Every structure is written in structure tokens, then in C-alpha cells.
Amino acid sequence: MEFEPVIGLEVHAQLLTESKIFCGCSTRFGAPPNTQTCAVCTGMPGVLPVLNARVVEFAVRMGLATGCSIRRFSRFARKNYFYPDLPKGYQISQFDEPLCRAGELRVEVDGRARTIGIHRIHVEEDAGKSLHDQDPDASLVDLNRSGVPLIEIVSEPDLREPREAYAYLTKLRQILVYLEICDGNMEEGSLRCDANVSLRPRGARELGTKAEIKNLNSFKGVEAALHFEIERQASLLRAGRRVLQETRLWDAVRGETRPMRSKEEAHDYRYFPEPDLVPLAISDAWLREIEGALPELPDAKRVRFEAEYRLPAYDASVMTSSRALADYYEAAVAAGGDPKLLANWILTEVLALVHERGLEIEGSPVGPQALSELVRLVSKGTLSGKMAKEVFAEMVRTGDNAPAVVERLGLRQIRDPGELGAVVDRVLAGSAAEVEKYRAGKTSLLGHFVGLVMKETRGQANPGEVNRLLREKLEGRG
């Protein structure tokens, strides 16, 4: 029997606010343990939370960007559970009245577009962090993260294969980063993902029993864990056995999922409305203000790049893969230069350079203006493509601009007909036999003559001009 996987993802994104969700403590990552805490986020008795408006604004941005309807009146809820890193004994979250719901995200896998439903996006606070490897005799608790704002984005079970889940996560991350509400760093925990997976006979409508996979801390990990889990469930079902509804942990080292101890998953959260917070109301004016300030999103930008700069789909999708790269590209185009040629240079030399050095595009040793200057020299014919690569390498090495490097290295393309004509004459005079053959009809010898001229000029001759002059002289029009 053939099975169809059904996958849903729950993604927690840490919001990039300066302060925590219910107090004024800093959210800065990497501070010494317990230095960014106060009575509120350590859960002291008698304190009252005050909602950070920025958190709501950021969550609404994500809701609008994914086509969700925004609930104008929503309530917070207490999610009760005991854990050492949760001093209050409950987490303030949203339960039956999430801020955003019923949105969607378009993903593309192998050129095939699919729309994945977003069930809901809600706001909540993060818990602290237990540290088990600092002290051999004890577990320690760091509450710096306690009260850091999160949104949880819950997809519909619309994903059908691990590659789609990967594409969905990539797109989600791209939008979060475009909106400047999350840094998207999965390795540092700013983006966390749990996956629900079940199998059903292909063509069936009913859902099978699902397993929830936790501890997915990289994009590749999500894909690998899904592959493993689908295979595991399929072999159970093929053997006529049942899939248990359970929570499983992904073990990236062993490349397998395994069940969590039942103690870890015994959840009865006893949700009830948070009595310390008034319901959250969002006015028309505020909603319009947030909507008006939304940046151009990746899909819209890609379409615009294709139309405005006449870029092929692939180029446009890479140029808009991040807002920073799109800004770099547009700054280069604005500084002058052929848009397609600039895209080629960024796709090859510039991205190779920043990847090789582990930099972000903003840190590229060759900035957009400098790149535009170089590319214009290529368009003008001053430099051949090959020379331009040499100049680029030298710009990276010295930090000089293209004209200065060209001047210093004496790198200049020869295209002056007089200067080049003299070289062509010399070459033809030295190859009388080949010239005879050419004139007798062996026109394939043209390449041979071009090669000789290039050699003579140490590659500095303009190939188009060399071709033109050779033809002219060989065919007796010179």
C-alpha cells in the first residue's frame, strides 16, 4: 500500500523587541545568566504584567504579511505547567482567541507552487532556560529568556513531503526577516520548530494517527527528521501495526526520532483567561498604521525585479532572497550599470566572496557603488570580463576602486581600431600560409587568428573588435 504523509509545522519565532513582553528587561542575547531579570519576569508574587505594544505590532505585521485576519479583540490565557525554568508555574499565552488566524503562505518546490494554510498566529512569553552541563552536581536556571516575546505560527496540515516543509520554513523565515521582527537564527533558538506527522493511505481523506516531533533545531534537521519519521511510520503500517500518538525527540547525532519519556509529555495545561491582563483591543487607526508601514515582501519584490530590471526568474529570486541583498542590488543599479550584468556579478563573484569569508552581504568588501563602477567599465568595453575579474580580486585585496586598480595595473582593453589594426596586420603578415587557406574558403581559421591577436596583446584586445578587423582585412575590405 502506498502512503501519503501529512505534515503540519508549529514554529516559534522570537521577536526582535528591545524589551520583554511584560516588563522592561532587555532581551539582548548572550548576557551573563540572570542579569536581565526583574520581579515580573522571575514570577514574584504580587507583580502585574504590562503588555509591550511593540510585541503586538510585530505579531500583527506577520499576520498581515501572511494574509491572516487580525482579531480586533483577543484575550491572553494562562497555560499552566510545572517546570524549573518557569517560576510562575504558568506561561502567559493565547488559547482560544489567537491574535491572527486563517492565513496562507505560498511555497515553491521544483517550480511547482503550493499554498499552505496558516491556522493561527498567537503571542506568548518564553520560559527560562535550564542548564544541565555547567555543574556536575546540579542543574542551573537562567531566567534571562523568561518573558522574551514569541509568536507561534501554526500551519494547517497541508504539507505533503519533507521538501515542502523545508520550503515552507525557508519562506517563513524569509518573511520574518524581511519584516524585521525576528533574526531567523535557528541555531541560536530565535526560530524553533515542532512537526506533526501522520500517514494515510494515498487518496484517503481521514487523517492517520500523528506523532509530534520536537527538538528540531536546524532546517536540514527538520527535513531529515521528517524523512526518518515517515519511513518509521510506513514500516509500522506495512507490518500491520499501529502508530502511537506520542511526542518524539529528534536525535540529530543518531539521525532518528525516539519517544520522550511519558512524564515529559503528560500535559494538562488547564488553560484559563489571564486575569492580570485586560483583553487586547486593536483600533482601526493602529491596524492601518501597521499595514501602511509594511515593507515590500519577497514575492512582490521578485515580481517587480523581473519586470523593472528584466531579470530572469532565477536571478530575481536570488536577488530578493533577503532584504539586505535586494537593497545591495538596487543600490548598485541606482549607481548605474546594466541591471542584468550587475545581477550576474552578484550571483557569481560577490556572493562567492561573502560566503567564502562568512560575511553577510552588508559586509561585502566591495560595496554596491564600487561594483557598479566596475561593471560600467565592462559595459563600456574598457575591461573584458576576464580582466574585470582580475580587477575585482584586486579591489577586494586593496580596497581600491576599479578605476584606480585599472590605472595601477595598466589593465585596459585595446579597442582602438588604429592600435589594434597594427597588431592584426602584424599577425596576418606572419601567417601568410593560413591567410591563403582562409581566402580559399577555410573560414574556420578565424578563431586561430583571433587567438594570435589575443596572445600578442596579452588578452587585452577587445574580442569583438578583433573579429571585426580580422574579417575586414581577410576579406579584402581593409
Would you tell me which residues interact with Zn ion (CB under 5 A)? 23, 25, 38, 40-41
| Residues 148, 76, 123: CA angle, nearest 5 degrees | 40
Q: How far is the CB of 190 from Zn ion (least distance, A)?
A: 19
CA dihedral sign, ordered 452, 457, 459, 460: negative
155, 117 contact by CB (below 8 A): yes
Q: How far is the CB of 58 from Zn ion (least distance, A)?
A: 18
Three-state SS for 78?
strand
Q: How far is the CB of 64 from Zn ion (least distance, A)?
A: 29
Which lies closer to Zn ion via its Cβ, residue 40 or residue 165?
40
Which lies closer to Zn ion via its Cβ, residue 40 or residue 224?
40
CA distances from 154 to 22, 181, 432, 450 (A): 23, 17, 77, 63
Which lies closer to Zn ion via its Cβ, residue 141 or residue 311?
141
CA distances from 178 to 128, 173, 325 (A): 27, 8, 11
Q: Could you count the other beta carbons within 10 Å of the beta carbon of residue 442?
A: 12
Dihedral through CA 413, CA 415, CA 416, CA 418, nearest 10? Answer: 110
Beta bridge partners of 214: 249
Which lies closer to Zn ion via its Cβ, residue 15 or residue 224?
15
**Per-residue b or e along 44-82, where b marks 16 or more CB atoms closer than 10 Å to that residue's CB:** eeebebebbebbbbbbbbbbbbbebebbeebbbbbbbee
Bridge-based pairing state of the strands 191-201 and 211-216: antiparallel
Q: Which residue type is seen at 246? A: E
Question: What is the C-alpha separation between 142 and 60, in angstroms, rounded?
Answer: 30
402, 373 contact by CB (below 8 A): yes
Which lies closer to Zn ion via its Cβ, residue 23 or residue 100?
23
Which lies closer to Zn ion via its Cβ, residue 38 or residue 236?
38
Which lies closer to Zn ion via its Cβ, residue 25 or residue 186?
25
Q: How far is the CB of 122 from Zn ion (least distance, A)?
A: 21
Beta bridge partners of 280: 74
As a whole number of Å, the end-to-end CA separation of the chain is 77
Q: How far is the CB of 35 from Zn ion (least distance, A)?
A: 11
Which lies closer to Zn ion via its Cβ, residue 40 or residue 402?
40
Q: How far is the CB of 37 from Zn ion (least distance, A)?
A: 5
Which lies closer to Zn ion via its Cβ, residue 25 or residue 167?
25
Q: How far is the CB of 134 from Zn ion (least distance, A)?
A: 22
Q: How far is the CB of 23 from Zn ion (least distance, A)?
A: 3
Which lies closer to Zn ion via its Cβ, residue 43 or residue 403?
43
Query: Cell 601567417 belongs to which residue?
Result: 431
Beta bridge partners of 197: 7, 211
E strand or H helix that includes residue 223: helix 219-238
Question: What is the C-alpha separation between 88 and 79, in angstroms, rounded?
Answer: 11
Beta bridge partners of 77: 93, 273
Q: Could you count the other beta carbons within 10 Å of the beta carbon of residue 294?
A: 13
Q: How far is the CB of 372 from Zn ion (least distance, A)?
A: 47
Three-state SS for 282?
coil
Question: What is the C-alpha separation between 334 and 408, in angstroms, rounded?
Answer: 27
Q: How far is the CB of 85 from Zn ion (least distance, A)?
A: 15
Which lies closer to Zn ion via its Cβ, residue 125 or residue 164?
125
Q: How far is the CB of 257 from Zn ion (least distance, A)?
A: 36
